[in-house]
Amino acid sequence: MVTTGDRGEARRALGARIRSARKAADLSLKELASRLGVRPGTVVSWESGQRQPGLTQVVAIADHCGADLVWLLTGRRPERTALEEALARLTEDVAAVRSLLTRWVAEGSARYPQQPEGRGPDRLDPTALASEVSRRVVAQLPAESPDLLSALEAALASALRDALEHGPSPDSEG
């Protein structure tokens, strides 16, 4: 049997997840309330656990905040598939490679001036390097979705080629 205290605790926990989802989506109380068609005070009462939104409202909150509905309702994250795990690791690896390439391009351009004729022994071929790195990275992923892997490989190669040819982008960390 669910007691009144248990219900209050569940409302407060749901409210904390709503607040977390709203903040993660970078929405103010007023913005979320406006999107949901309620008053800001209503959102405050949900986030504080004083009131509980209906299921339709929780679904709308998840949608507007880009939050996982299962997590919003239960506090549990769904298990990732092997592909999702591999993509999460790949995202971390790409960030590390990007940081290293950015540093290498910044340092390397001073150490290794480009040959005026084009390709010399110490001139890097950005296209070949980008293709090789992206091919090796994607080859390590599970082949659950060949189309996704092909698109990912092309996007990674393009990003690497741009970084090597044009230097770090303005939003790169240095």
End residue of a domain, out of 48, 74, 100? 74
| pLDDT at residue number 116 | 47
- The more confident residue out of 71 and 115 is 71
pLDDT, tens only, 4-32:
567 888 899 999 999 999 999 999 999 99
Among 8-12, 18-22, 62-66, 165-169, name the one with the lowest average pLDDT.
165-169
Give the pLDDT confidence score for residue 13 in this predicted structure.
93
Residue 24 has φ and ψ, to the nearest 5°, of -65, -30
Is residue 119 pLDDT above 60, yes or no? no
Q: Which of 27, 56, 74 is the last residue of a domain?
A: 74
Question: Closest by alpha carbon to 49, among 21, 3, 4, 14?
Answer: 14
Q: Cα separation of 153 and 133, whole Å?
A: 9
Query: Quick one: 157 and 107 in the same domain?
Result: yes
Q: Are residues 14 and 66 in the same domain?
A: yes
> What's the confidence (pLDDT) of residue 115?
44
Q: Is the pLDDT of residue 114 over 80?
A: no
Domain end marker among 45, 74, 103: 74
pLDDT score at 20: 92
Q: Which residue has the higher pLDDT, 135 or 123?
A: 135
Are 134 and 160 spatial neighbours (Cβ–Cβ below 8 Å)?
yes
Cα–Cα dist 131/171, whole Å: 23
Within a domain: residue 127? Answer: yes
In a domain, 172, yes or no: no
Mean pLDDT across the stretch 95-103? 71
Q: What does the pLDDT average to over 129-149?
A: 68
Residues 124 and 160 in one domain: yes
126, 67 Cβ separation under 8 angstroms:
no
Give the domain range for residue 161.
82-166
**What's the CATH code of the domain at 21?**
1.10.260.40
pLDDT (mean) for 150-161 = 73
Q: How many domains does the chain have?
A: 2
Q: Which long-range contacts (CB under 8 A, 24 or more apart) does 100-104 make?
A: 101/160, 101/163, 101/164, 102/163, 102/167, 102/168, 102/172, 102/173, 102/174, 103/174
Predicted confidence band of residue 34 (pLDDT cuts 50, 70, 90): very high
